[in-house]
Structure 1
Amino acid sequence: MNKKILTLIIGLGITHVVSAQVENLSNSSKPVYEKEPPVDGYVVKSDVENRKVIPYAPIRQTDVAFSKRVWREIDLRDKMNQAFASPKARLMDIIVDAIQKGELTAYDPTPTKNDPNGDSFKNVLPIDQVMARLGGDSVLVEQYNENNEVIGSHYEKRDWSRESVIKFRIKEDWIFDKQRAVFEPRIIGIAPLITPQIPGADVFGEVSTVTPPASNVDPFDPFAVQEETQPTTPAQPAVTASPVFSNLGPQVDATPAFWIYFPEARHVFVNKEVVNRNSDATGLSYDDVFIKRLFSSYIIKQSNSEDLRIKDYIKDDLDRLLESERIKKALMDYEQDLWSY
């Protein structure tokens, strides 16, 4: 008897909660007064927030028949990767917010003697240095009087540009587990790429052949008034044109701002939903995107005895892309060659 009464009470409670939620979400003609604001929509998305990370299958060292380390880059300007830069759920915002809350650890990407590539997660990068690398540190602002004299100064916090990060670098291992007969990639780390702000430098790196400017003219200032070149005479030999950088400046490669350890980041990504351009009901988290490989990327390096990147032995951009595709195909061919049909 007591069990029946308890079941009835619980059922009435659940019905009241559901009816309250339905009333809150329905197009009712009567105003609904509640302590909490109304729900924004007709469906409460709670499945992503409550998800847990599904761990990888364990791998023994003796079961690894083949392993290859690969570095690749994700360009957010690619149509397939535009969800990573969505203002509703930008990947960079999620990473920085988790670092500031202490949920993620940032690692210094500076190459050292024991870590030539700077991606071995050896040195922790403090939060203030993380923000300084992103351009969000404090700046000194001076105060002036009517005579243009400095009368004081103070520090103001500067917001970092979220749109400045347009690429991510991934470090991963391709492993063939002979025990499970599975050939799969496993991401180790992710790094947002930033371009150092160097005066006169630009990412395009075009070079032109021009006459050297006068000593009082800045060659890297696109708004500087260039002095007119005087016609040469037999008494004055012509100045030989020399290759210098144009107004676009020399080429500067994007470098990692910091590294995050992917197995640690999975516990953050699993509760962050990815925005889909086709449907709002995606049900996909950032952990799903990386595990299921729902992104476009190109390889910039594979493990080799000389520790060379693709651009170290191939200079042409198109040939680099073809080399990246060749490495991808070689990995796929390895798996296909394991089986006979």
Structure 2
Amino acid sequence: MKKILFSILVLTTSVAAIAQQQNLSNSTKPIHAEEPPVDGYTVKTDIENRKVVPYANIRQTDVAYQKRVWREIDLREKLNKAFASPKSRLIDILINAVMNGELTAYDPTPSENDPNGDSFKNVLPTDQVMARFGGDSVLVEEYNENNEVISSRYESRTFSGENIVKFRIKEDWIFDKQRSVFEPRIIGIAPLITPQIPGMESTAGMNTSGDAGYDPFDPFAVQPEQQEVTNSDVALPVQDNSFTPQVDPTPAFWIYFPEARHILVNKEVVNRNNDATGLSYDDVFIKRMFASYIVKESNPEDLRIKDYIANDVERLYESERIKKTLMDWEQDLWSY
């Protein structure tokens, strides 16, 4: 019996040694492996195999307080830089999942059955998703020596999410008296785009380097290179009294967050300070590891903050006031 156990132990050790030799990162001599070598000394398989941890069940009779708020996440803020990392960009993850049929995109256009466009009532067809970002093809025309169009064709172009700098999230703050927990539950997430409307030809406040064909609102467009300005090129600013319409970013589509969790849980977030954190996008949203500001709270008039406050700074103060109101409600709950 001892000989059998010893033989099994030797066989197991040999198999483990052979398996380690196949990994080029741990080998001491060149090995011609059929598969590509491991990029590093460890393989991150925990992210790929993770499953969504479900929320605790909440009964309607246990909801003692509920408040709905809409937030915006600006990727230009330092805390949100990971959302725009080229290695794992959030907009690329959502677009790929929608185009592959793994997520459902909902139309943000207000309608009769969905006045605000964020209630996940109308499904946005897949072929219209890319059209919200400027389309997935470009018309190329050929001219002759007389500057006449002789032929035209469509060429596909790769989507780039570099120009998507804001996301909007819709969430509910709920106090569960059964568990005595006051927590937020994200309902939906939407990338924000600036629509093109007549009158937006004016480039006030934009890059006016003179590059023909560059559209600052087109996510597919290649941004022109910044040129150094010498003293001889400096010119006095020209007073422009022409009216420039103010266009606010609008959702391209809405994603139901509970459905998106099954995709985000397997997507790792790039960390600037440590490559071994193992945080997924689901962890970032659930643990609230992002910076945001409130743009609307539920109210009888269905008003946004910008509808009753015109000054941008005052809007931020109002956003902080709403945040403090939510926190104070929980603190006052436990005061004696």
Give the TM-score band, short-chain normalised: 0.7 to 0.9
Which structure 1 residue ranges, 5 or more long, are not aligned?
207-241
Q: Distance in 2 between matches of 1:299 and 1:290?
A: 16
Per-residue CA deviation, residues 34-83 of structure 1 (Å, 9 max, x unaligned), is 00111111121111111110000011101100100110000000000001
Partner of 1:275: 270
Partner of 2:328: 333
- 8 Å Cα contact 1:128/1:137 also seen in 2: no
Alignment of 1:13 with 2:15, yes or no, is yes
- Cα distance, 1:106 vs. partner? 0.6
Identity of aligned residues (%): 71
- 8 Å Cα contact 2:20/2:26 also seen in 1: no
Partner of 1:83: 82
How many residue pairs align between the two structures? 300
Per-residue CA deviation, residues 233-280 of structure 1 (Å, 9 max, x unaligned), is xxxxxxxxx9641xxx32110000000010010001001100111111
Q: Structure 1 residue aligned with 2:280, among 280, 285, 288?
A: 285
Q: Distance in 2 between matches of 1:292 and 1:100?
A: 28
Helix, strand or coil for the counterpart of 1:55? coil
Helix, strand or coil for the counterpart of 2:31? coil
Q: Distance in 1 between matches of 2:202 and 2:43?
A: 44
Q: Distance in 2 between matches of 1:15 and 1:36?
A: 18
Q: Distance in 2 between matches of 1:15 and 1:85?
A: 41
- 8 Å Cα contact 2:73/2:80 also seen in 1: yes
CA pair 157-334 structure 1, distance change in 2 beyond 3 A: same
- Cα distance, 1:114 vs. partner? 1.9
- 8 Å Cα contact 1:202/1:252 also seen in 2: no
Q: Distance in 2 between matches of 1:340 and 1:163?
A: 47
- Cα distance, 1:201 vs. partner? 2.6
Q: Distance in 1 between matches of 2:39 and 2:160?
A: 29
- 8 Å Cα contact 1:135/1:158 also seen in 2: no
Give the residue type in structure 2 aligned to 1:25: S
Q: How does 1:311-330 map to 2 (within 5 A)?
A: 311-330=306-325
Q: How does 1:217-296 map to 2 (within 5 A)?
A: 244-245=242-243, 249-296=244-291
- 8 Å Cα contact 1:144/1:150 also seen in 2: yes
- 8 Å Cα contact 1:202/1:250 also seen in 2: no
Partner of 1:57: 56
CA pair 117-20 structure 1, distance change in 2 beyond 3 A: same
Q: How does 1:292-311 map to 2 (within 5 A)?
A: 292-311=287-306
Q: Distance in 1 between matches of 2:154 and 2:263?
A: 32
Helix, strand or coil for the counterpart of 1:133? helix
Larger radius of gyration: 1
Q: Distance in 1 between matches of 2:259 and 2:104?
A: 8
Give the residue type in structure 1 aligned to 2:246: Q
Give the residue type in structure 2 aligned to 1:57: A
- 8 Å Cα contact 1:48/1:271 also seen in 2: yes
- 8 Å Cα contact 2:22/2:33 also seen in 1: no
Q: Distance in 2 between matches of 1:3 and 1:189?
A: 59
CA pair 106-31 structure 1, distance change in 2 beyond 3 A: same
Q: Distance in 2 between matches of 1:196 and 1:243?
A: 23
Give the residue type in structure 1 aligned to 2:200: A
Partner of 1:234: none
Alignment of 1:25 with 2:25, yes or no, is yes
Q: Distance in 2 between matches of 1:141 and 1:205?
A: 28
- 8 Å Cα contact 1:130/1:258 also seen in 2: yes
CA pair 337-116 structure 1, distance change in 2 beyond 3 A: same
Helix, strand or coil for the counterpart of 1:184? strand
Per-residue CA deviation, residues 127-161 of structure 1 (Å, 9 max, x unaligned), is 22110111233233333333433333222223334
Q: Distance in 1 between matches of 2:4 and 2:47?
A: 34
TM-score by length of 1: 0.82
CA pair 251-61 structure 1, distance change in 2 beyond 3 A: same
Partner of 1:97: 96
When the two chains are superposed, the root-mean-square deviation of aligned CA atoms in Å is: 2.3
- Cα distance, 1:115 vs. partner? 1.1
- Cα distance, 1:19 vs. partner? 4.0
Partner of 1:185: 184
- Cα distance, 1:91 vs. partner? 0.5
- 8 Å Cα contact 1:111/1:117 also seen in 2: yes
